[in-house]
Amino acid sequence: MSGNSFGTLFCVTSFGESHGPAYGGVVDGCPPGLELTAADLQRELDRRKPGSSRHVTQRRESDAVEILSGVYEGRTTGTAIGFLVRNEDQRSKDYAAIAEKFRPGHADYTYWQKYGIRDPRGGGRASARETLVRVAAGAIAKKWLRERYGVVVRGYLAQLGPKRIALRDWQAVDANPFFAPDPAIVPELEAFLDDLRARGDSCGARVNAIASGVPVGWGEPVYGRLDADIASALMGINAVKGVEIGAGFAAVEQRGSEHGDEMTPAGFLSNHNGGVLGGISTGQDITVSVALKPTSSIRLPRRTIDVHGRATTVQTTGRHDPCVGIRATPIVEAMLACVLMDHALRQRAQCGDVNPPTAPLAGAAS
Amino acid sequence: MSGNSFGTLFCVTSFGESHGPAYGGVVDGCPPGLELTAADLQRELDRRKPGSSRHVTQRRESDAVEILSGVYEGRTTGTAIGFLVRNEDQRSKDYAAIAEKFRPGHADYTYWQKYGIRDPRGGGRASARETLVRVAAGAIAKKWLRERYGVVVRGYLAQLGPKRIALRDWQAVDANPFFAPDPAIVPELEAFLDDLRARGDSCGARVNAIASGVPVGWGEPVYGRLDADIASALMGINAVKGVEIGAGFAAVEQRGSEHGDEMTPAGFLSNHNGGVLGGISTGQDITVSVALKPTSSIRLPRRTIDVHGRATTVQTTGRHDPCVGIRATPIVEAMLACVLMDHALRQRAQCGDVNPPTAPLAGAAS
Amino acid sequence: MSGNSFGTLFCVTSFGESHGPAYGGVVDGCPPGLELTAADLQRELDRRKPGSSRHVTQRRESDAVEILSGVYEGRTTGTAIGFLVRNEDQRSKDYAAIAEKFRPGHADYTYWQKYGIRDPRGGGRASARETLVRVAAGAIAKKWLRERYGVVVRGYLAQLGPKRIALRDWQAVDANPFFAPDPAIVPELEAFLDDLRARGDSCGARVNAIASGVPVGWGEPVYGRLDADIASALMGINAVKGVEIGAGFAAVEQRGSEHGDEMTPAGFLSNHNGGVLGGISTGQDITVSVALKPTSSIRLPRRTIDVHGRATTVQTTGRHDPCVGIRATPIVEAMLACVLMDHALRQRAQCGDVNPPTAPLAGAAS
Amino acid sequence: MSGNSFGTLFCVTSFGESHGPAYGGVVDGCPPGLELTAADLQRELDRRKPGSSRHVTQRRESDAVEILSGVYEGRTTGTAIGFLVRNEDQRSKDYAAIAEKFRPGHADYTYWQKYGIRDPRGGGRASARETLVRVAAGAIAKKWLRERYGVVVRGYLAQLGPKRIALRDWQAVDANPFFAPDPAIVPELEAFLDDLRARGDSCGARVNAIASGVPVGWGEPVYGRLDADIASALMGINAVKGVEIGAGFAAVEQRGSEHGDEMTPAGFLSNHNGGVLGGISTGQDITVSVALKPTSSIRLPRRTIDVHGRATTVQTTGRHDPCVGIRATPIVEAMLACVLMDHALRQRAQCGDVNPPTAPLAGAAS
């Protein structure tokens, strides 16, 4: 399988470029009988949409999605679900100035050298706009997981540059343009971003996500591990440079007597493992955290080379998010949901006849 | 594909349990004509072998590997390479006491609940002893990468519990039982581990690895990204809870003007991206870092439940590494090498006719 | 991977239903730099198009294809090629009468029982109209194979019901609505079909295809064999019930002294093996033949049951081909081309460094 | 995935060469809890074993199989099942005479040209001895299918060269060395083979197989079709040149009014479709037929070239089956069983929540 599909049984295939006619995707393997309309996808796409605040790219896209197959009379039929989002606001002229140069930190250089050809308009295939396909696919996964297993997948912005954001209020997440789980910190984030934008610079971010209600037993050990597949899905999001599950890098300094989550008949007493042991879900919350690097397209001048290998500088004046992490929360949720759904299906394929022989334990409070 | 194989074109399949008769693996897709003998695999296996110092499990295994196929007159034939390592020192009685209990932080509970049956002897399939298959496969990948492309994959212990270890001397890495790249710190590490072992506790670790000489252009964008596949391979190693590429989580607090690696005709000026942009190698060093959690099998008593769901405590008195990270360096190298080889093959499949149109840039000093 | 994708490196994903809004596909893994426009796909789609003669379904579809991604300034970029064909002439009312009944020999019954739901309009996902996705993907494969390796993939109708058709003239194939390679037999075929249609019945067919110019060495032995993948691709075409390679079933009655293709420095002396030995191409023509069953939707009344399990009869009065084999030639060519392209890529991945050590032999005249 | 594995969820990986130390395999994805011992595999291996009559190769192999993993206390654990069969009787000297020549009809030439290297001893990886891996894997699939679903997979020799063999008595199949379902014809077959062997020639064969008890709904439509996967599995058996399902090539001359299997509440009235419609099982018997070409290693002299491209002749005097079809029956059964088990798992993954909404129909008498 080449690089534009992922998943074993719940399989997502993606196509499209930033300034081409459209993005689209195919979701294969969804069980039949799920109630599904374009509105289910649209709701999640709208969360990721550009132009929703002054802090993100001002590109104007309705991101209206059309379902082309796989749904009959409002329910999935078990066949491939194709969907399409037309691009509307492609100001390709913005990119003429950089078509012959490579932006530092951007995929311009690697696409060019790998393929010997690239679509320079808006980053072409490397544009983060591709993540709308993931979000649409994730909407299907989230819905099925919730209806079939009661699994809820939620994320939030945990850090914006140097600003750490505490998880105080899940309700706040969708009520501000940053997916910040603390309404009190929003003005501070806005001021920080206004300053950053004025300087022509960008910053990194951290996004956390939690999947609650995952039953014990999802994930295959050794190489098809749930944690390995989650890591792949999250590291594969544009700009992600680090992935943690559970305690993550804090585990380096933990002792075994602290890290190993004790169990009692009343449930687990902690969740340092982030809901995965031996590559298999424990029944606790799956907790993940990703690091997103700063946007590479910035207005500050940077040293680079052109396609002829000559020294030059580049400034990017197009419409860009000063922090790709701001809109990343729905994407992280979507990728996590797709992996979980894939493993839900894989689990019942192999172990559909197994009932957990010991009464499953409750999770620790997260 | 189920959970015991990984890789698309360079594909590794693994089998075996800690106290079963043997471990074995099948490496599929290796190009023909590579000189290969069992000694090539043995050299790497010996680096990972138990019993090599008082700081790791005292299980006595020669880990002697036999190549069963795919090599004719000292060269690979292009067919599947099967290999086998017999288990020798299986003291299954050590595990009788814990067969009915779940060790906190261990896969005991999840295997049991997923499959309704498990081999409790030595962790069964969940034992880190399975990593010998990865190391053997990685030995093939490392050799081919070096001979065909000049790629060198090296790793080292970067942190042991609270002890950070600076990269001072690559030569030191294989000259101490910790793969520490600084001989001066070894006595300190030994004292720390002796104390830890005396307390019956365990600690976490951080292992770094670097692949040098990787050409620009390996990795497929979007979902088959080189970084995503690396993340999957590394998070899939037993006990790993976090993976970073390049700046990793430090990217969260970086500005775009700092993070994006500038380019000049003389080469890249930094390597915050860790050698991957847009999922494709840049030609710089690939730099990765993983967090390993503390060993879950410890002598200190821990609260847990038994298979009947009743409260109990567990102490693990068998032979265990007090820090799984100590022997993880060859495993991290092996997994990184396998992913790179897979992508080397994928690259020449699709882009075998492409020459990078711009003279490839030199990397920054790492 | 679920059921709507095929291919390992040249990977085709398909979606769409007969009376939904559109069909579409994603071709992943195409090398960069291939000149490609919608016209390249359209040419092949037009060969398969309905309504082109009175002998096939009178459904009126322009089958106009739009390329949505993966092509920039007329050349492939190496990223996923998405394409779309809107459905235009969906007379769903034709199907109301049969929505609650199962047509004998049709997938109505199996979709219904497998998924618990089906789109009954025009066969839904089971409609042979889906083959347009294969034909579009095959157009890309055919073009690349021809330009890169000089491989030519051609097919023809070899038998229509009882009428055997000799290969007399390749030029004739595209000059009649049956893809018959003998212009003299066309009036006889027309009379036969007129009579069949008047009776309300349908007939089977045999289609042959040949790939010329395939180099020695494509195909992986044992399970990823070229012949196995061809068999899968061809048996997977709607209505196909048998696949032969080379001598096919005639090999049952051959002796080894007759079947084994002798070699001389001037080339092979025969081609009973159909260009594949041990799962690997020999450099001779790849010759295949498929059996297509008669169309199951016929006007003659047939005994069946309804969705409640009650006895009933069914007559299908919609627009149907009296012989699905008539339009199958471009589909067989397309599937064969896709498999060959996949293996061309796989071959250079693993064996890109190998030159055939013996001067490759010429093929026997086919 | 490279060429030595097959199956999506029930995945078989194979390694070994005819004159190497051993053959082995890994079966991944088997559900936990299946009672399994080496004897289960041995029983099927003994059916395929060489040296069992004067009509097959006289190579002496016990083909004793050892299970190395995946089974604990007599039951599968859900982890990878590794198994090994040591080679014992490798008379490599037999092959010295042909190491530099290519046998017509054999994979000698294609391996050599593809890989630039080959193991000439006994055909190396191309030897039909590899099929023991398939038979061992198939033994697991057959057992699980029978115990979990009541599916029975059986095959028989339907034709030996010109001799057609009627299905008169299933009990006879395992009571003669040909798997002939008619004891009366056995003397005739023996005389035919004795004569053939005396002439130094070989012949082709046809093998049929039937899977009974397969529920409605297995198989994915469009590309992951049950029939396509069966065709791949069967065409991938050494020497197979043709595959039929149901009516097969006879469908070419059938009318729709004859071919389409009518349904009544009492069941299907015929089974021309061979138990598959639209790529999905109907609940009728799955009926398949394969053509096997004559053995290419014969004693009669044949024109060929040597590795330097020079004209020469070759006679094969080693130990060979005069008809590979004689021992093919267990292999065909095994491959069919593996495909069915894979689809059983895939079906319950996606459609585990679906009950066939209409009472499933009984099959027609086969």
The answer to whether D278 contacts C3, with C-beta atoms less than 8 Å apart, is no
The answer to whether A26 contacts C9, with C-beta atoms less than 8 Å apart, is no
Rounded Cα gap, residues B81 and B74, in angstroms:
12
* D9, D78, D119: residue with CB nearest B72: D119
The answer to whether D24 contacts B82, with C-beta atoms less than 8 Å apart, is yes
Q: Is C261 helix (H, G, I), strand (E, B) or coil?
A: coil
Structure tokens at D263: 């349904």
Nearest to A286 by CA among A358, A233, A340: A340
Q: What's chain A's Rg over C-alpha atoms?
A: 21
First to last CA, chain A: 37
Kindly list the distances between the CA atom of residue A319 and the CA atoms of A91, A92, A128, B341, in Å, as whole numbers in the listed order.
Answer: 10, 11, 13, 38
Q: Any CB–CB contact under 8 A between C354 and chain B?
A: yes
Best to test chain C binding among B346, B350, B354 (most C CBs inside 10 Å): B350
Residues of A in contact with D280 (CB under 8 A): none
Parallel/antiparallel/unpaired status of strands D311-314 and D302-305: antiparallel
Check residue D52 and give its pLDDT: 74
**ipTM of predicted assembly, 2 dp:** 0.97
What is the least distance, in Å, from the CA of C320 to any CA of chain A? Answer: 22
Is residue A275 within 8 A of residue A211, CB to CB? The reply is yes
Rounded Cα gap, residues C203 and D256, in angstroms:
6
Check residue D263 and give its pLDDT: 97
Residues of D in contact with B69 (CB under 8 A): 15-17, 20-24, 125
* A221, A222, A349: residue with CB nearest D349: A349
Q: CA of B16: which chain D residue's CA is closest?
A: D69
3-state SS, one letter per residue, for C224-247? CCHHHHHHHHHHCCCCEEEEEECC
3-state SS, one letter per residue, for D175-219? HCCCCCCCHHHHHHHHHHHHHHHHHCCCECEEEEEEEECCCCCCC
Nearest to D207 by CA among D245, D134, D156, D263: D156
The answer to whether A256 contacts B300, with C-beta atoms less than 8 Å apart, is yes
Q: Which of B16-30, B37-51, B137-151, D48-62 has the lowest mean pLDDT?
A: D48-62
The answer to whether D114 contacts C216, with C-beta atoms less than 8 Å apart, is yes
Helices (H), chain D: 38-48, 108-115, 131-149, 186-199, 226-235, 256-259, 329-351
pLDDT category at B123 given cuts 50, 70, 90 is confident
Q: Any CB–CB contact under 8 A between B356 and chain C?
A: no
Q: Residue A345 is which amino acid?
A: L
* A5, A300, A347: residue with CB nearest B223: A5
The answer to whether A257 contacts B300, with C-beta atoms less than 8 Å apart, is yes
DSSP symbols for A26-73: EEE-PPTT-B--HHHHHHHHHHH-TTSSTTS--------EEE-SSEET
Q: Is the dihedral of CA C335, C336, C340, C343 positive or negative?
A: positive
Is residue A230 within 8 A of residue B235, CB to CB? The reply is yes
φ, ψ for residue C294, nearest 5 deg: -65, 150
Q: Which of residues 74-93 of B touch D (CB under 8 A)?
A: 75, 77-82, 84
Structure tokens at C56: 């096939």
Rounded Cα gap, residues C55 and C157, in angstroms:
14
Residues of B in contact with A303 (CB under 8 A): 262-264, 269
Element (H, E) at A85: strand A81-86
Query: Across all residues in chain C, what is the average pLDDT?
Result: 94
Rounded Cα gap, residues A77 and A32, in angstroms:
5
Best to test chain B binding among D23, D68, D84 (most B CBs inside 10 Å): D68
Q: Which residue has the tokens 């050349």?
A: C75
Q: Any CB–CB contact under 8 A between B8 and chain D?
A: yes
Residues of D in contact with B14 (CB under 8 A): 26, 80
Check residue A61 and give its pLDDT: 82
Residues of A in contact with B109 (CB under 8 A): 216, 263, 277, 282, 358, 361
**Percent with pLDDT over 70 in chain C:** 97
Residues of B in contact with D29 (CB under 8 A): 2
Residues of A in contact with C1 (CB under 8 A): 1, 5, 8, 11, 28
Q: Any CB–CB contact under 8 A between C271 and chain D?
A: no
What is the least distance, in Å, from the CA of C35 to any CA of chain B? Answer: 14
Rounded Cα gap, residues A179 and A173, in angstroms:
4
Q: CA of B343: which chain C residue's CA is closest?
A: C349
**pLDDT over 70 at B1, yes or no:** no
Is residue C138 within 8 A of residue A55, CB to CB? The reply is no
Is residue D346 within 8 A of residue D8, CB to CB? The reply is yes
Q: Any CB–CB contact under 8 A between B300 and chain A?
A: yes
pLDDT category at C105 given cuts 50, 70, 90 is very high
Counting one residue from chain C and one from chain D, the pairs whose CB atoms sit within 8 A come to 427
CB atoms near residue B263 (< 10 Å):
28
b/e code B99-122 from CB counts within 10 Å (16+ = b): eebbbbbbbbbbbbbbbbbbbbbb
Is residue C283 within 8 A of residue C329, CB to CB? The reply is no
The answer to whether C5 contacts A11, with C-beta atoms less than 8 Å apart, is yes
The answer to whether B78 contacts C148, with C-beta atoms less than 8 Å apart, is no
Rounded Cα gap, residues B309 and B304, in angstroms:
9
Query: Across all residues in chain A, what is the average pLDDT?
Result: 94
Chains sharing 3 or more CB pairs under 8 A with chain B? A, C, D
DSSP symbols for B282-322: -SSPEEEEEEEPPPS--SS-EEEEBTTS-EEEE---S---S
The answer to whether B2 contacts D116, with C-beta atoms less than 8 Å apart, is no
Element (H, E) at A291: strand A286-292
Residues for chain B: how many in total?
366
Q: Any CB–CB contact under 8 A between A177 and chain C?
A: no
List, in order, residues 6 or more apart from C257 with CB less than 8 Å away: D201, D202, D298, D300, D302
Provide the 8-state DSSP code for C9. Answer: S
Rounded Cα gap, residues B247 and B259, in angstroms:
8
Question: Which one has a higher pLDDT value, B69 or A320?
Answer: B69
Rounded Cα gap, residues D332 and D230, in angstroms:
10
The region, left, alpha or beta by phi > 0 then psi within -120 to 50, assigned to residue C307 is: alpha
Q: Any CB–CB contact under 8 A between B176 and chain A?
A: no
Element (H, E) at A348: helix A329-351
Q: Which of residues 192-231 of C touch D (CB under 8 A)?
A: 196, 201-206, 216-217, 219-225, 227-231
Mean pLDDT of all residues in C77-92: 89
Element (H, E) at C113: helix C108-115
Nearest to C28 by CA among A80, A13, D105, B109: A13
Kindly list the distances between the CA atom of residue C234 and the CA atoms of A24, A353, C131, C231, C241, in Å, as whole numbers in the listed order.
Answer: 28, 35, 12, 5, 9
Residues of B in contact with C34 (CB under 8 A): none
The answer to whether B357 contacts A216, with C-beta atoms less than 8 Å apart, is no
Check residue B93 and give its pLDDT: 64
Q: Write out residues in chain D with pLDDT < 50, as ranges.
A: none
* B13, B23, B124: residue with CB nearest D5: B13
Mean pLDDT of all residues in B133-162: 98
Q: Which of residues 118-157 of A touch D (CB under 8 A)?
A: 148
Query: Across all residues in chain B, what is the average pLDDT?
Result: 94
Nearest to C62 by CA among C79, C81, C43, C49: C49
Q: For A79-135, write each residue's pLDDT tens digit.
A: 999 999 999 877 666 666 778 999 999 999 999 999 999 888 888 999 999 999 999
The answer to whether B15 contacts D77, with C-beta atoms less than 8 Å apart, is no
Cross-strand pairs, A261: none
Mean pLDDT highest for which of A118-127, B58-67, B303-312? Answer: B303-312
What is the least distance, in Å, from the CA of D146 to any CA of chain A? Answer: 15
Q: For A248-305, write each residue's pLDDT tens digit.
A: 999 999 999 999 999 999 999 999 999 999 999 999 999 999 999 999 889 999 999 9
Q: Which residue has the tokens 């009516």?
A: D247
Parallel/antiparallel/unpaired status of strands B5-6 and A276-277: unpaired
The region, left, alpha or beta by phi > 0 then psi within -120 to 50, assigned to residue D359 is: beta
* A110, A126, A356: residue with CB nearest B282: A110
Q: Which residue has the tokens 């720390």?
A: B192
What is the least distance, in Å, from the CA of D361 to any CA of chain A? Answer: 22
pLDDT category at C93 given cuts 50, 70, 90 is low
Check residue C35 and give its pLDDT: 98
Q: Which of A86-90, A180-184, A359-363, D80-84 has the lowest mean pLDDT?
A: A86-90
The answer to whether A148 contacts D353, with C-beta atoms less than 8 Å apart, is yes
Q: Which residue has the tokens 């490496």?
A: B27
Check residue D111 and give its pLDDT: 96
What is the least distance, in Å, from the CA of C68 to any CA of chain A? Answer: 6
b/e code A328-358 from CB counts within 10 Å (16+ = b): bbbbbbbbbbbbbbbbbbbbbbbbeebebeb
pLDDT category at C54 given cuts 50, 70, 90 is confident
* B348, B353, B354: residue with CB nearest C349: B348
Element (H, E) at D86: strand D81-86
Q: Which residue has the tokens 């003005």?
A: A187
Rounded Cα gap, residues B273 and B280, in angstroms:
11
Model confidence pTM above 0.95: yes
Rounded Cα gap, residues A143 and A153, in angstroms:
10
